Chain A
Amino acid sequence: MKPLQRLFLVLVMLILAACSSSPQNQSPPLVVDTGIDPNRWSLIPAGEFLYGQHEEEVNIEYDYEMMVTHVTNAQFATFLNLALADGAIKWGEDGLVGYYPGDVFDGYDHEREIKAGDWLLFPVGDPDVRIVEQNGVFAASPGYEDHPAIMVTWFGARAFCAYYGWRLPTEREWEKAARGVDGRAFPWGDEIAKNNANFYNSRDPFEPNGGLGDTTPVGFYNGKQYAGYQTQNSPSPYGLYDMAGNVWQWTADDYKDTHLRYLRGGSRGDYDYNLRVWTRNSASPDYYSITVGFRCARG
């Protein structure tokens, strides 16, 4: 075989190998106790703070609270069981659905039309979900109880918070909770190291082969050492964990002429610069992903 032919054959084989797909590893993950209670809330006091990359002075005139961690799989499974039982949510074609009153549609260029009706909350049975249903009862996949709930749409996140009388944070509330009032770039300061947060190729114990890896338990980056891996204590100025990395977080705002929903915080699938507190991501409210989760606010 000529060298060029050999090279061509190798390339074809590489591309074919690359295109073969396997679902994410479903074997039980490393189980660690972070000691951070996902039921805790933190108070963010009223007042001015620096918003966005260009540090616009913004005043939030009220005190509010936010969950110290992402909503976990265990918490979300409990919600599904309760809400399904009392009829707040129901089964739909692709999973569990819930009613949403719709967004005002103006027919603007590329505007998404979100009509009133039942929308997908959680795609039960999707191979990537971490919540399993057995005999009509939902439970977190073994070992993933205290990992952030993923594969939840914006409608699902909203439904979870609303069920308990809470709400999703607005973008401004989210950012103030993440960075405090001193204009820092990351929740813990202006520099990022691999053991500050779960991001792409951060080489944490849940990412043995690099790349996307897996979610880390909520509150993982709290200064503890797990199986020889030393984390840095990386809360926000208000004591919130994982406000950078792990999974993106849905926020509440519905913006006129677009109706995309915005996500904050970056994820395990993103390079470190996407974890800067002002970085925005957006998606349709019915989007769900292994790199998207949420937490709630109240007050």
Chain B
Amino acid sequence: MQAIKQRYQFLFGSTKGLVLVAIAMISLETVFFGMLSGPMAELGIREPWVRLTGMQLHPAEREGRIIMLYHTIAMAVVAIEVYFITALVKMKREQQTNINAMVTVGYLVSMIFGMWFAYFGRNFIYHGLFIFGQSLVFFAGVMLAAALWPWNKAYYVRDTAYAHTRSGLDLERLAFFVMTVATLGSSIFGAVAGANFGNGFEVFLAEDVVREPHKSPLDLAVIGHLHIMLTLIAVALALIIGRWVDFKGRLHKWAMPAMIIGTVIVTLGVWAVVPFESIAHIIINVGSVFMLGASFLLIAFTWRQQIRLGLAKRGVSRAEAGFGQKLAALLHDPLPFGATWQMLFMNFVVTAVGVYMAINLDDVIREWPWREERITLTGHWHILAGIIGTIILLYYGDLAGLKGRVRQWFGWTIIIASDIAFAAVTLFSTKRLFVRESAQQPLVNWTMWLTDAGLFLVLVVLGALMAWRLIDLFKARGRWREEMAESTLQSLVKEVEP
């Protein structure tokens, strides 16, 4: 009994345990429902899986199921980010405990009952619990915003290496606060449409209505909601990675104001989609420049830091080091390098494609049938979501204490395999630029093969990590015990801090 209690305390009472549970839940959900995906259908696995599990898949409910699936995964990702933030940003211990508890119950209730409702028969109690779970996640966000209140003098900066105002206001804390408030507002933006379900709003996937010349305000709210939520999840992650690498100095002082301004402008631009659709994109593009600028500064800081650390490890001074040595130093630790490389890589496979599509919308994209445009759109945001997932995994690899060769294999496999997959998806989704429809099959086959192989390798690494952590839980003096001890120590520090 004591052993179970201790494991429970680790899994639900420590940051690393909570993150582990959330990653495990996402992994299980991905594996379980991934069996319904295109490749699994082609391999003939989907139908037996549906029969085995007793899923009820009415064709008319497909879009609703997918939306609920995305939401439950997003809730777990948000929970992971909340755990990171409550651990990395100063706040009272009871605030951390309450926020983590609320968001944990929220995403678990939402995930379990949401998926039950969506895939195993309609029971509106389950749907109610799905909504209730999301509401708990929302209220955890309200509590997080309160805990992050940046004008609390106790949290003003003491180390001037970090971005701050003249009065000492911590600009990084302000960036976290602004992101949290923007996320809360943006979730309401989507919830309003959901609350009107059946009264002017019907389920749809955003990519299915892109060519409708006239969209209702609720349609626009949903489209805005999904874009801004994914953007803010990415902003939160950039801020978290900044804390991880101890982002500070001159670049930090430029990056934090840029991130705050960018977050505010982009959020307001997205909210403006409903009343001022024609100018909303201009506002969003302006804000995006600030956001991207801030992330480039984070990348620059991290890479310089990694070069410095790598050279120091090899005993080479920076002044004497050649390009090759600097490059080797930059790549010496795939986890922090990979997290920031993925941010940069995102610009090639997401931003560049998005910009190309925007510029050539009428002349190229709208010359294609809608199905082709849809493939490009879904590829675009699946890649962004996938990149966010890999960055979280790379950070978790560090938190889990991976060292030596395991750290190298874990990091490089995720970076290389996922980037091959994302590049292949990009090529696949824009194939009409390079190849005729009648000659597309070889390109489709190879890009799909590379995508599946890349994602499979990432899942193998993730599976190995999860298996290791599961086995570890059965050990009396496993890694989990060390992590729980660390967590207890951090909690004590939080108690003595203001």
Q: What is the interface of chain A, defined by CB distance below 8 A to chain B?
A: 11, 14-15, 17-24, 53-55, 108-112, 127-128, 185-186, 190, 192, 201, 209-212, 248, 255-258, 260, 263, 269-274, 276, 280-284, 287, 289-292
Contact = CB atoms under 8 A, between A and B. Distances in A.
A257 B214 contact: yes
A21 B435 contact: yes
Contacts of B366: 110, 112, 260, 284
Contact of B434 (A19, A109, A269): A19
A245 B336 CA distance: 48
A111 B214 CA distance: 11
A43 B42 CA distance: 37
Contact of A127 (B212, B278, B438, B447): B438
Interface of B: 38, 41-42, 58-60, 62-63, 202-203, 211-214, 278, 361-362, 366-371, 420, 427, 434-447, 449-450
A105 B79 CA distance: 50
A281 B207 CA distance: 12
Contact of A24 (B213, B438, B443): B438
A18 B211 contact: no
A110 B362 contact: yes
Given A20-B442, A192-B59, A287-B369, 20 more contacts: A15-B427, A17-B446, A18-B445, A18-B447, A21-B435, A22-B439, A24-B439, A54-B202, A190-B58, A190-B59, A201-B41, A211-B445, A212-B437, A212-B440, A212-B444, A256-B213, A258-B211, A270-B371, A276-B59, A289-B437
A287 B367 contact: yes
Contact of A283 (B362, B370, B440, B446): B370
A34 B231 CA distance: 53
How would you classify the secondary structure of chain A's contact residues: helix, strand, loop or mixed? Answer: loop
A283 B212 CA distance: 12
Contacts of B440: 21, 212
Contacts of A270: 371
Contacts of A260: 211, 366, 370
A51 to B, nearest CB: 13
Contacts of A20: 442
5 contacts: A18-B446, A21-B443, A54-B203, A127-B438, A282-B370
Contact of B442 (A17, A109, A112, A255): A17
A289 B369 contact: yes
Contacts of B202: 53-54
B369 A19 contact: no
Contacts of B369: 248, 263, 281-283, 287, 289, 292
- 10 nearest A-B pairs in the assembled complex, by CB-CB distance: A18-B446, A21-B439, A185-B59, A24-B438, A257-B213, A283-B369, A282-B370, A258-B213, A18-B443, A128-B438
A21 B436 contact: yes
B368 to A, nearest CB: 7
A224 B370 CA distance: 34
Nearest to A106: B213
